[in-house]
């Protein structure tokens, strides 16, 4: 049975009073668990969620803050959220780009981008760009690096589920290729990885510690589109899917939400002098490379399609696409 990587209990007792953290997709799944733990340690956690009603309910549940909806399918919504945040807060210690969509059917965002690429990468890229000045200012004031965490995935590398992920810089929006939700998902997760890696290259580590993470195969609503594709939308399909989930959870391949939040929490809470900016931190996973399966904090993401210049090129293309 795989060994779950967990934070040292002392990290989960750190006093985070006065710190402000934004977590996207915080009304459910790992985002909610991450928010719950950070709030428990005294941080002011801003829950950035698409649905206002659910966001407010989640904020009440974890004693967090909901200030405005964040709809990642709209770049205008991202800008509006940042404006609302800045009107209420003058500091930001950490940003967690947690929200994501997995293997969803063919759809486009309000700005015309394929759903997974637009929501999981571009909107988060814009969010980070607009908030980076606050993160860097905070680091200067506190003499401690701020933190940026991007939720990536095992599929950003070479997983047993599919081949090595690719990023086609000439066709990021799947105009020349036949759309396939699974390679599109892998591309979006590789974009998240490259975003955090390139941020680590562009900003001094004494100002910003940037990490990408694989949270593990987590028992969460993220796989809903995959479940529908395999088992269908009918009640019997969902019933069978739940049986499979419980089996894999019992077997140890799938982990709880609490364990799924551990890697993100580690990247936010571990002492700065022990962290490596721009690196990949992973729970155990279904990597094709046997040595990678146990995961690691950090570990090397094995993917022959990742080149030293790919992150920089994606950054430049993303800047043009979001208009910054």
- 17 and 103 belong to one structural domain: yes
Question: How do residues 58-84 score in pLDDT, each as one tens digit?
Answer: 999 999 999 999 999 999 999 999 999
- 74 and 210 belong to one structural domain: yes
Contacts of 53 (CB under 8 A, 6+ apart): none
Question: How do residues 150-185 score in pLDDT, each as one tens digit?
Answer: 999 999 998 777 789 999 999 999 899 888 888 899
| Cβ 164 vs Cβ 305: under 8 Å | yes
Which pTM value belongs to this model?
0.92
Question: How do residues 84-118 score in pLDDT, each as one tens digit?
Answer: 999 999 999 999 999 988 766 778 999 999 999 99
Contacts of 19 (CB under 8 A, 6+ apart): 42, 43, 44, 93, 94
- 227 and 316 belong to one structural domain: no
Question: How do residues 133-142 score in pLDDT, each as one tens digit?
Answer: 999 999 999 9
- 146 and 248 belong to one structural domain: no
- 295 and 278 belong to one structural domain: yes
The count of domains in the chain is: 2
Structural domain includes residue 228: yes
**Domain enclosing residue 237, as ranges:** 221-254
Judged by average pLDDT, the poorest of 33-42, 224-233, 254-263, 281-290 is 224-233
> What are the residue numbers of the active site?
185
DSSP string, 251-302: HTSSB-HHHHTHHHHHHHHS-GGG--TTEEEE-S--BSSGGGTT-EEEE---
Q: Checking DSSP bridges between strand 146-151 and strand 94-97, what pairing results, if any?
A: parallel
- 201 and 231 belong to one structural domain: no
| Cβ 219 vs Cβ 28: under 8 Å | no
């Amino acid at each position: 049975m795989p060994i779950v990587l967990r934070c040292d209990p002392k990290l989960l007792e750190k006093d985070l009073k006065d710190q402000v953290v934004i977590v996207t997709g915080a009304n459910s799944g790992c985002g909610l668990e991450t928010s719950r733990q950070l709030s428990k340690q005294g941080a002011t956690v801003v829950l950035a969620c698409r649905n206002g009603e659910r966001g407010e309910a989640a904020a009440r549940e974890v004693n967090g803050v909901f200030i405005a909806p964040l709809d990642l399918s709209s770049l205008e919504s991202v800008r509006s959220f940042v404006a609302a945040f800045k009107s209420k807060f003058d500091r930001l210690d950490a940003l967690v780009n947690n929200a994501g969509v997995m293997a969803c059917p063919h759809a486009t965002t309000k700005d015309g981008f394929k759903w997974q690429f637009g929501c999981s990468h571009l909107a988060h890229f814009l969010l980070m760009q607009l908030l980076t000045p606050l993160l860097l200012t905070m680091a200067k004031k506190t003499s401690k690096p701020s933190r940026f965490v991007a939720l990536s995935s095992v599929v950003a590398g070479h997983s047993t589920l599919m081949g090595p992920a690719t990023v086609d810089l000439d066709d990021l929006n799947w105009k020349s290729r036949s759309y396939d939700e699974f390679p599109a998902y892998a591309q979006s997760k590789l974009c998240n990885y490259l975003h955090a890696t390139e941020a680590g290259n562009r900003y001094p580590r004494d100002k910003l510690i940037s990490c990408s993470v694989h949270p593990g195969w987590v028992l969460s609503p993220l796989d809903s589109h995959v479940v529908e594709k395999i088992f269908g939308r009918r009640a019997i399909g969902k019933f069978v899917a739940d049986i499979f989930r419980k089996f894999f959870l019992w077997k140890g391949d799938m982990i709880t939400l609490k364990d799924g939040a551990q890697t993100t929490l580690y990247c936010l809470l571990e002492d700065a002098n022990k962290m490596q900016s721009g690196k990949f931190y992973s729970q155990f996973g279904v990597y094709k490379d046997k040595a990678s399966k146990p995961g690691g904090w950090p570990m090397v993401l094995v993917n022959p399609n990742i080149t030293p210049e790919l992150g920089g090129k994606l950054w430049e293309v993303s800047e043009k696409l979001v208009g910054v």
